[in-house]
Amino acid sequence: MLRKLGLAVLGIALAVAGPAAAYDGIVEKKTFSMPSYTTRGGKTIKDVKVGWESYGKLNDARDNVILVTHFFSGNSHAAGKYAAGDAAPGYWDAIIGAGKPIDTDRFFVISSDTLVNLSPRHPQTVTTGPATIDPDTGKPYGMRFPVVTIRDFVEVQKALLESLGIRKLHAVVGASMGALQAFEWAAAHPAMVERIVPVIGGAEADAFLIGWLDVWASPIRLDPNWKGGDYYGGPEPVDGLAHALKIVTLHARAAGWADRAFGRKWADPARDPAAAMENRFAIEDTLDKAALARAKTSDANHFLYLVKANQLFSAGHAASLAEGLKAVKAKTLLIPAASDLLLPPRMSAAAGAILKANGTPVETVTITGEGGHLDGVLAIAQAGPAIRAFLAR
Amino acid sequence: MLRKLGLAVLGIALAVAGPAAAYDGIVEKKTFSMPSYTTRGGKTIKDVKVGWESYGKLNDARDNVILVTHFFSGNSHAAGKYAAGDAAPGYWDAIIGAGKPIDTDRFFVISSDTLVNLSPRHPQTVTTGPATIDPDTGKPYGMRFPVVTIRDFVEVQKALLESLGIRKLHAVVGASMGALQAFEWAAAHPAMVERIVPVIGGAEADAFLIGWLDVWASPIRLDPNWKGGDYYGGPEPVDGLAHALKIVTLHARAAGWADRAFGRKWADPARDPAAAMENRFAIEDTLDKAALARAKTSDANHFLYLVKANQLFSAGHAASLAEGLKAVKAKTLLIPAASDLLLPPRMSAAAGAILKANGTPVETVTITGEGGHLDGVLAIAQAGPAIRAFLAR
């Protein structure tokens, strides 16, 4: 109800504002193409395509740009709707729009799908990865696709921005893997990035995160349908991918959320989990069903490549994180979530300490709640005033 | 060196003390048998056997007994060695022995293998579970073994104690799943239990833990060799079980430990993880190898039954935890570990709050460190003085 009301108010505001090119809540997915892209690891990928969308209007000076970078299981749909009848708007609609903290009356907000996006078959996602047809063989790359890193995500975004004549970013704002991209942007292209807002993020994958990412990926390799990644055209490793997605979902949450949503409720009130091995608790059943549904629009190899990109991440890709962050000039607003178990506040804090030591202005606003990592997406409105003020400075 | 020295000193002390029956650091695994046991769920299991061992001497009044209950992946080998040349003593040797906080000069310390113990093939573990031959069919039970609960573990232990003429427990002390058993002992047999020391435990599996336990179990069911549990005599689901054990291992640790032990070190200094999808970080490789080795002495179905027992746990198995804990009379010493992510301090605290509200004396000592859940096993010496003082009151 409140969300509907919010959108109605937004619609009115925009009808008054007028210009057809301005963000009016109806979003169009576009495709950016590169004849070839050479990864930082030195491998060339032909015919790279990524999807992108934007909200608001690019000004004549082309200096009102905010780049929004997406999370592991997300895509570039950060705000608005593709059609009035869409069930839900983009994931950060609470903070992106006319008059909102990331104000589309003022800013040109742009977001792109990453390379190896999790959902290459999703109708509104455009990506290039192992599920893509290799033009040299006419068959999907599979595990022959080159390793890509967060830096490669950034370089493709940079090419997209340059194709639009954009040379300066007012800010890069992203949650989770999007925060990793924000740090990487600031480290790789310091002269171009004025501000970063890493939400529920960190500047480096530490050993514990590397280990957990491996745990996420393991079920895929265990699925006999995975076949070393050459499953295209045959039965796909849906069960392994669903297990992987289930782990991600739980890892992105917290105990308070689970208690409120499920408690010790049974999946079926007639089937006591104590009565038979196959009788289950509600949380198990719900997570499995959600993961299986999600697995059907996702790709197992893309999942593995995303895991690799995240494991490899160390902002600036230097010998040490301190060295990798040395070039950063961007004013920084860190937004961790208090109950985050995946990229907990200590990871933001570690990055912040290095940046501060370098003389970079760093502010921190912590999202409170019991929702875990996902509070950085679902409870982002809490940080709205801080984001608005930060972008105005 | 210090450990060796400790054992040497212990040996001397006992040589002076004299009696052959006293704990002299050489432990014997014994077997307790029941012609049949009927679970709390009403299913009868014939010819139940569990292993047990003891340290110290039962006094004539049979009132100097401390029961030690073991954790998920453990067995009854809590202290001492089976032979002088053993690589390591039992897991809590730091606190159990002559002159130690759980002083075998004073107490008769007894520990038993649980039902459905993880490692039925381990040469020093005796258990009854799905890998056991069903006397009615001459074949392993597989998933036809009845569901068992923490309460069933307790009832079998009680039968063992009664077979030794023991009617009173000075204390029940256990880590992790052992803490669950300690709470259950106090709730189920309040007149028999004078003290409990739940270490890194909780009195109930909450929704988040239920979900995580399901995540642990998932890889087993995904392994094509699992075959609904009927794998005995054929290839076993070793890969699925190894994945499951890898998750447990990581979940029982914490970021500080991972940083110190591995950092971003590569598994092979010649194989940069960024250079190929199959090149890995040290933490991934080490966890995989350890889990695979462990999987070979463990049983996949037993893992699933342990997961079920832990998911079903709510001390006292009543309509609510508050009701389940109402009967408890045991003085309680809670020992959470600060960096525990599996059964974090809030779970101890929740149990403690209910017990206190009932008028039960509750003390808490927190183990500090960065080792995660496992600090409750590996850093238990920290809590030694508190345990010693508690047992003397």
Domain ranges of chain B: 2-205+309-392
Give tens-digit pLDDT for A265-314: 999 999 999 999 999 999 999 999 999 999 999 999 999 999 999 999 99
Q: Is B152 a catalytic residue?
A: no
Residue A274 forms contact with B (CB below 8 Å): yes
Residue B318 forms contact with A (CB below 8 Å): no
The candidate with the shortest Cα–Cα distance to B231, out of B310, B149, B295, is: B295
Whether the CB-CB separation of A212 and A179 falls below 8 Å is answered with no
Q: How many CB atoms lie within 10 A of CB A59?
A: 12
Q: Which of residues 26-45 of A touch B (CB under 8 A)?
A: 41
Q: Which of residues 136-155 of A touch B (CB under 8 A)?
A: 143, 147, 149
Helix axes B300-311, B177-188, angle to 10 degrees: 50
Give tens-digit pLDDT for B341-382: 999 999 999 999 999 999 999 999 999 999 999 999 999 999
- Please give the torsion angle defined by the CA atoms of residues B382, B383, B388 and B391, in that order, rounded to the nearest 10 degrees: -170
Q: Which residue of A243, A261, A281 is in closest CB contact with B311?
A: A281
Low-confidence residues in chain B, pLDDT < 70: 1-24
Q: Is B176 a catalytic residue?
A: yes
The domain over range A2-202+313-392 is classified in CATH as 3.40.50.1820: yes
Residue B94 forms contact with A (CB below 8 Å): no
Residues 6+ away with beta carbon under 8 Å from B19: B57
Is the overall model pTM greater than 0.90, yes or no? yes
Residue of B nearest to A319 (CA): B264
What local confidence, expressed as pLDDT, does residue B18 receive?
34
Q: B204, B214, B225: best mutation site toward chain A, by most A Cβ within 10 Å?
A: B214
Q: How many CB atoms lie within 10 A of CB B97?
A: 28
Q: Which of A73, A76, A373, A375 is catalytic?
A: A373
Question: Per the CB < 8 Å rule, is A255 touching B210?
Answer: no
Residue A276 forms contact with B (CB below 8 Å): yes
Q: B213, B215, B343: best mutation site toward chain A, by most A Cβ within 10 Å?
A: B215
The phi and psi torsions of B50 (rounded to 5 degrees) equal -135, 145
Amino acid at A111: S
The whole-angstrom separation of Cα A212 and Cα A234 is 29
Question: Per the CB < 8 Å rule, is A211 touching B283?
Answer: yes
The whole-angstrom separation of Cα A348 and Cα A201 is 6
Give tens-digit pLDDT for A317-329: 999 999 999 999 9
Q: Which of B111, B119, B176, B314 is catalytic?
A: B176
Residue of B nearest to A286 (CA): B211
Report the gap between the CA of B3 and the closest CA in chain A (Å). 29
- Name residue, tokens 């920290």: B382
Question: Per the CB < 8 Å rule, is B214 touching A346?
Answer: no
Give tens-digit pLDDT for A122-142: 999 999 999 999 999 999 999
Q: State the SS3 of chain A.
A: CHHHHHHHHHHHHHHHHCCCCCCCCECCCEEEEEEEEECCCCCEEEEEEEEEEEECCCCCCCCCEEEEECCCCCCCCCCCECCCCCCCCCCCCCCEECCCCEECCCCEEEEECCCCCCCCCCCCCCCCCCCCEECCCCEECHHHCCCCCHHHHHHHHHHHHHHCCCCCECEEEEECHHHHHHHHHHHHCCCCECEEEEECCCCECCHHHHHHHHHHHHHHHHCCCCHHHCCCCCCCCHHHHHHHHHHHHHHCCCHHHHHHHCCCCECCCCCCCCCCCCCCEHHHHHHHHHHHHHHCCCCHHHHHHHHHHHHCCECCCCCCHHHHCCCCCCEEEEECECCCCCCCHHHHHHHHHHHHHCCCCEEECCECCCCHHHHHHHCHHHHHHHHHHHHHC
Give the CA count within 13 Å in the CB-facing half-sphere of A30: 13
Report the gap between the CA of A184 and the closest CA in chain B (Å). 16
Q: State the SS3 of chain B.
A: CHHHHHHHHHHHHHHHHCCCCCCCCECCCEEEEEEEEECCCCCEEEEEEEEEEEECCCCCCCCCEEEEECCCCCCCCCCCECCCCCCCCCCCCCCEECCCCEECCCCEEEEECCCCCCCCCCCCCCCCCCCCEECCCCEECHHHCCCCCHHHHHHHHHHHHHHCCCCCECEEEEECHHHHHHHHHHHHCCCCECEEEEECCCCECCHHHHHHHHHHHHHHHHCCCCHHHCCCCCCCCHHHHHHHHHHHHHHCCCHHHHHHHCCCCECCCCCCCCCCCCCCEHHHHHHHHHHHHHHCCCCHHHHHHHHHHHHCCECCCCCCHHHHCCCCCCEEEEECECCCCCCCHHHHHHHHHHHHHCCCCEEECCECCCCHHHHHHHCHHHHHHHHHHHHHC
What local confidence, expressed as pLDDT, does residue B23 receive?
61
Q: CATH fold of B2-205+309-392, please?
A: Rossmann fold (3.40.50)
Residue B277 forms contact with A (CB below 8 Å): yes
Q: A238, A251, A266, A277: best mutation site toward chain B, by most B Cβ within 10 Å?
A: A277
The whole-angstrom separation of Cα B294 and Cα B289 is 9
Give tens-digit pLDDT for B55-99: 999 999 999 999 999 999 999 999 999 999 999 999 999 999 999
Tell me the pLDDT of chain A (393 aa) as tens digits.
233 333 333 333 333 333 334 466 799 999 999 999 999 999 999 999 999 999 999 999 999 999 999 999 999 999 999 999 999 999 999 999 999 999 999 999 999 999 999 999 999 999 999 999 999 999 999 999 999 999 999 999 999 999 999 999 999 999 999 999 999 999 999 999 999 999 999 999 999 999 999 999 999 999 999 999 999 999 999 999 999 999 999 999 999 999 999 999 999 999 999 999 999 999 999 999 999 999 999 999 999 999 999 999 999 999 999 999 999 999 999 999 999 999 999 999 999 999 999 999 999 999 999 999 999 999 999 999 999 999 999
Q: Which of residues 233-272 of A touch B (CB under 8 A)?
A: 239-240, 243, 246-247, 250, 253-255, 257-259, 261-265
- Name residue, tokens 């990926």: A217
Q: Is B251 a catalytic residue?
A: no
Question: Per the CB < 8 Å rule, is A212 touching B314?
Answer: no
